Chain A
Amino acid sequence: MNDTYELHGGETHIEVHKFYPGAVVLVAAAALVFQATVPVYFPRLNILELPLLVTIYFGLSRRNPSTGLLLGMMIGWAQDALSGPTVPIGYYGIAKTVIGYLASSIGARLDTEHPAARFSLIFGFYVVHQAVLVLVRRLLLAQPEPWFNVHLAIAAAVNALLGTVLFLALDRLRRSS
């Protein structure tokens, strides 16, 4: 298999990146462990959503909606499982499935390598992710949850900033063509 593919859409061509074996699994696992462990020692880091950032990154990089949504689903399930019995399996799974699909779909149409584009996309995906979570809570779990607050905007900005930096680091896991 080639390391890099090209998608042709009109006059633009977009690379599809491949990663070293096991990189996706290890990065996703590391993000989950980080998410489950770090807030214990650094409570303020609870604002970070590393599983979401990983889902977005691999969705944007792989640019395959099917694999993107499946990866999102798996990461979301793992996050559900590690979040305790009060979080039903599928809660984060649904949200990250949607994000994985959207990221892959958008990544297949736009050049998402530029940091500014990544920042904007992460910000937007974070808001959508939270919106899906609120929707699931409201409609399926009958738990009232505010749609928007200042904390959401701050969290989206922080995650977008961190994600932009993190994506640069994750770019090193790509196989060179």
Chain B
Amino acid sequence: MVAIPSKHKSLTLLAGVLIAQLLMLAVQIKRDSHGRLIRVWAISAAYPFERSGSWGFGKIRGVWTHYFALHTTAQENEALRVENDALKLTIAQLQTRAAEADRLATILNFKQTHEEVPIVAARVIAASAGTASRTVEIDRGERDGLKLNMAVITPDGAVGKVIEVFGNTAQVLLLTDKDGGAGAMLVDSRTQGVVGGTGEPMMQMKFVANEDSVGMGEKIVTSGMDKIFPRDIPIGTVVEIKAGNPFKQIRVQPAAKLERLEAVIVLLSQTPVEFKNETQSAPSTSAKQNTTPTTPAAAEKP
């Protein structure tokens, strides 16, 4: 048996220890000291253990996190997948809006550079219901000043003409329609003719004599002779030339993206207007060399 401290002894010791600590606390508060010596000892003694413990617990956490605590991973993956899908949709919407903004900016730029020409921008809201015709419906109509046979263009080139006008909408016959067409002129040779549709994406330039000089890739612009389109609006590019009887068979790639029209410009004036011809303002080498018609006959063609 050992001597067990009496209740009074332990109580006395407790009181003494507590009082000592209270005094120590008071001294720390009064002197604003933090018992630095004790802390240095304690931290120095604990440091190796803390460091090794930190390493060990870090490893444990790594193992736990990467191998065991994966019950939320599937949920997180699902949430991320949903978020990713939503972001993709948002990106697609933003890309669409950006493309639309680009188109509108192009139209705005066109309008600013052709202030003398009364125009109205329109959005394509529908296309022909069948393949028998190539028309589009736009969201501008009689109330916006549209009339029959007004020219419809894009900054890229000629599109067609208004063939039907309603209060708020109008129908446009595209150049690629079998009944569509425009007075045209080869930029380099100044040879004139008529570009008309064939019901296909490509157009055809008619009434160009076999003896007229036509180059592949040559640009074609409106001649203004049809009283619908002003002069010098791009129509297309020559992509195929065949000899015919009595006229050449010339296939033309439309300058405007007629298959993907979303916004167009309607020229409200049916009086002849002069456009700044980009091909003239920045003519090609061959155009510079051929600023006059090559043949008198070509110049006289409608």
Q: Which residues of A contact B (CB under 8 A)?
A: 1, 5, 7, 29-30, 32-34, 36-38, 40-42, 64-66, 69-70, 73, 77-78, 80-82, 85, 88-91, 93-94, 97-98, 101, 104-105, 136, 140-141
List, in ascending order, chain A residues with CB within 8 A of B11's CB.
Answer: 65
A94–B60 alpha-carbon span in the complex (Å): 34
Q: How far is the CB of B44 from chain A (nearest CB, A)?
A: 10
Q: Which residue of A lies closest to B10 (CB)?
A: A65
- The answer on a CB contact under 8 Å between A94 and B21 is yes
Query: What are some 21 contacts across the A-B interface (CB < 8 A)?
Result: A7-B4, A30-B49, A32-B46, A33-B46, A33-B50, A36-B46, A41-B57, A41-B58, A65-B5, A66-B13, A70-B13, A70-B17, A78-B42, A81-B41, A88-B35, A90-B21, A90-B22, A94-B21, A94-B25, A101-B14, A140-B29
Q: Which residue of B lies closest to A67 (CB)?
A: B5
List, in ascending order, chain A residues with CB within 8 A of B45's CB.
Answer: 29
Q: Which residue of B lies closest to A40 (CB)?
A: B54
Q: How far is the CB of A54 from chain B (nearest CB, A)?
A: 15
A34–B54 alpha-carbon span in the complex (Å): 9
Q: How far is the CB of B32 from chain A (nearest CB, A)?
A: 10
- The answer on a CB contact under 8 Å between B53 and A97 is no
Given contacts A37-B53, A42-B61, 7 further A-B contacts (CB under 8 A): A29-B45, A64-B4, A65-B11, A66-B9, A78-B46, A97-B14, A101-B14
Given A34-B53, A70-B17, A80-B35, does the pair A88, B4 have CB atoms closer than 8 Å? no
In the complex, which of the residues A41, A78, A80, A88 contacts B29, with contact meaning CB atoms closer than 8 Å?
Answer: A88
- The answer on a CB contact under 8 Å between A97 and B26 is no
- The answer on a CB contact under 8 Å between A81 and B35 is yes
Q: What are the 9 closest A-B residue pairs judged by CB atoms, nearest first?
A: A81-B42, A89-B35, A65-B10, A85-B34, A90-B21, A37-B53, A41-B61, A33-B49, A81-B39
- The answer on a CB contact under 8 Å between B2 and A5 is yes
In the complex, which of the residues B28, B41, B60 contacts A90, with contact meaning CB atoms closer than 8 Å?
Answer: B28
Q: Which residue of B lies closest to A91 (CB)?
A: B25
Q: Which residue of A lies closest to B5 (CB)?
A: A66
Q: B27-66 toward A: CB 8 Å interface, digit per residue (1/0)?
A: 0110000110011011101100110011001101100000
List, in ascending order, chain B residues with CB within 8 A of A37's CB.
Answer: 50, 53-54, 57
Q: Is B297 an interface residue (CB 8 A)?
A: no
In the complex, which of the residues B1, B41, B54 contacts A5, with contact meaning CB atoms closer than 8 Å?
Answer: B1
- The answer on a CB contact under 8 Å between A81 and B14 is no
Q: Give the dominant DSSP class at B's interface.
A: helix
- The answer on a CB contact under 8 Å between B14 and A65 is yes
In the complex, which of the residues A1, A69, A80 contacts B10, with contact meaning CB atoms closer than 8 Å?
Answer: A69
Q: How far is the CB of A14 from chain B (nearest CB, A)?
A: 11
Q: How far is the CB of A93 from chain B (nearest CB, A)?
A: 5
Interface centre among B7, B29, B42, B45 (most CB of A within 10 A): B42
- The answer on a CB contact under 8 Å between B39 and A89 is yes
A19–B50 alpha-carbon span in the complex (Å): 25
A3–B117 alpha-carbon span in the complex (Å): 111
Q: How far is the CB of A155 from chain B (nearest CB, A)?
A: 21
Q: Which residue of B lies closest to A42 (CB)?
A: B61
List, in ascending order, chain A residues with CB within 8 A of B14's CB.
Answer: 65, 69, 97-98, 101
- The answer on a CB contact under 8 Å between B39 and A85 is yes
Q: Which residue of A lies closest to B24 (CB)?
A: A90
- The answer on a CB contact under 8 Å between B17 and A73 is yes
Q: How far is the CB of A166 from chain B (nearest CB, A)?
A: 17
A54–B46 alpha-carbon span in the complex (Å): 17
A177–B94 alpha-carbon span in the complex (Å): 80
Q: How far is the CB of B64 from chain A (nearest CB, A)?
A: 8
- The answer on a CB contact under 8 Å between B50 and A36 is yes
List, in ascending order, chain A residues with CB within 8 A of B4's CB.
Answer: 7, 64
- The answer on a CB contact under 8 Å between B61 and A94 is no
